[in-house]
Structure 1
């Protein structure tokens, strides 16, 4: 047969993600026989190697399928980016902009920033990727990313907009019931909110002199939005961005002089996208408004 097309790989990736032909077909709006034929044709193009085996849980990917997965994901990201690029009229402020940001920035900060921009440019549509992993702009997984680490890829346009400061915070109700710790050592007598299995959020804290021991946490959760919610609900003492701590319900910032972690904040995009008016406008807007947010930290 001829070389496999994107349709073949898209069907393959959908089966890989859903674990069944029927679910994959529903996701793509195809009939099950059509989708099964795509997978079979891809297998034939690969020399007859099997991509899936049947298991009690559904279709299990073979080793070959797992090796193909990142390449199919790259193709999917490129196809989505191409679709976004064709939206709207040339030079017009219309179409979709896909933005990647951490859970907390995406949930707590971005909505207000993008509300202002869309009020001025109602033709823009925003897709937000909430992830604490660094989206690969080179693979077009997102058009613009807000990162807390300095990008290293030379093909990216990156602007440092400031630093976001982290610190220990607690709700006044918690402190009224349990007392206010005067020093970091006093935390041993308090309920601490921290990570469960993912300690990556504590990277960069080495210079603070504070040891983050999972065994010390009485409230463990890896999602940083949920951690912030727990602090706001007076469940205990935890770490959050100081600018968010000043929002209602206002939290008490503890040990401001003894413990502070500044995170460099960057707005980035692929250099090839700089000529797209809607992407450049969004990039400049995010640089300006994120700089203002950092200044408030």
Structure 2
């Protein structure tokens, strides 16, 4: 097997992502016959069929899907090389793709990112909110703010600290109900949250808790808390910015939620990524410090 040229891999990735020769050819500014020849050459070099024809275009084979993550990693590395060679690496402008959880993206990061945009107005931010950890090595995102430690190698990882999560109630709920003075008294209240999570909290062991509002979305849980639907858990730093939220059993910490940051080691050569990484790290430290 010969070593296929990068041009062939680039054509392969374009067809894989668009699902058709014509769309991939337009993306790469090539003719359709040229692109088809690239795929044939790559299949010949690898000794494998990569695509099959169907009514809705080209479908990747199992071999193609197996090669996809590595091809995307190659594309990200080639893109980075081009940007470094063009001098873009030291410019404080361009786009940064940041991924984080839904809760962090809505409740924590907006004021931090607003300050960054004031400092560096030529750096654009593409925020991807997902509780699924995107693959930084594959180039799905440039930076990540996560609540679990990244496990991949070749990542620059920093633990920022831990966010205490405690119980709160909106002042409207407190006006209608006497707030509990002990953990067992929580059993007399409608709670906001997820029962399967509550089972993992040592402080709740042995209690029979009733959840009047549950959701898979942490943002929906926060909205319910602010609407006065019951007692719920919230990061201390978020609650501190909302005077309408009243602490409930403030001596009880539900969990210490770690906050991690990560980016690909090679990406730190890009100044705009270093600037955002450092800004997020310092701002999140301040957030955790109250």
| TM-score > 0.5 by shorter chain | yes
Query: Aligned partners of 2:108, 2:171: CA distance in 1, in Å?
Result: 23
CA deviation after TM superposition for structure 1 residue 248, in Å:
3.1
* Cross-structure match for 1:288: 282
CA deviation after TM superposition for structure 1 residue 63, in Å:
5.9
Q: Secondary structure at the match of 1:150?
A: coil
Range with greater deviation from structure 2 (41-50 or 153-162):
41-50
* Deviation per residue, 1:34-62 (Å, 9 max, x gap): 6xx97xx579778557657669xx99987
Asked if the contact 1:54/1:60 (under 8 Å) is kept, the reply is no
Range with greater deviation from structure 2 (83-92 or 238-247):
83-92
Cα distance change of structure 1 residues 190 and 137 upon mapping to structure 2, 3 Å threshold: same
Query: Aligned partners of 2:107, 2:225: CA distance in 1, in Å?
Result: 14
Where does 1:34-183 land on structure 2 (aligned, <5 Å)? 47=48, 51=52, 89-183=88-182
* Cross-structure match for 1:6: 10
CA deviation after TM superposition for structure 1 residue 65, in Å:
6.8
Query: Aligned partners of 2:23, 2:243: CA distance in 1, in Å?
Result: 46
Query: Aligned partners of 2:63, 2:177: CA distance in 1, in Å?
Result: 56
* Deviation per residue, 1:183-203 (Å, 9 max, x gap): 22222222222238xx5xx49
CA deviation after TM superposition for structure 1 residue 29, in Å:
7.4
* Deviation per residue, 1:68-91 (Å, 9 max, x gap): 665566567667767876887442
Cα distance change of structure 1 residues 213 and 181 upon mapping to structure 2, 3 Å threshold: closer
Asked if the contact 1:84/1:97 (under 8 Å) is kept, the reply is no
* Cross-structure match for 1:253: 247
* Deviation per residue, 1:98-155 (Å, 9 max, x gap): 2121111111222211221221211111111212233332223222211222334442
Equivalenced residue count is 278
Cα distance change of structure 1 residues 176 and 29 upon mapping to structure 2, 3 Å threshold: farther
Cα distance change of structure 1 residues 157 and 44 upon mapping to structure 2, 3 Å threshold: closer
Query: Aligned partners of 1:130, 1:146: CA distance in 2, in Å?
Result: 10
CA deviation after TM superposition for structure 1 residue 212, in Å:
11
Cα distance change of structure 1 residues 12 and 259 upon mapping to structure 2, 3 Å threshold: same
For structure 1, the 5+ residue unaligned runs are 16-20
* Cross-structure match for 1:264: 258
Q: Secondary structure at the match of 1:137?
A: coil
Residue 235 (1) aligns with residue 229 (2)? yes
Query: Aligned partners of 1:165, 1:124: CA distance in 2, in Å?
Result: 32
Q: Secondary structure at the match of 1:188?
A: helix
Asked if the contact 1:181/1:187 (under 8 Å) is kept, the reply is yes
For structure 2, the 5+ residue unaligned runs are none
Cα RMSD (Å): 4.1
Query: Aligned partners of 2:49, 2:265: CA distance in 1, in Å?
Result: 40
* Cross-structure match for 1:18: none
**2:215 counterpart (199, 211, 221):** 221
Q: Secondary structure at the match of 2:159?
A: strand
Query: Aligned partners of 1:98, 1:62: CA distance in 2, in Å?
Result: 30
CA deviation after TM superposition for structure 1 residue 210, in Å:
2.1
CA deviation after TM superposition for structure 1 residue 228, in Å:
0.7
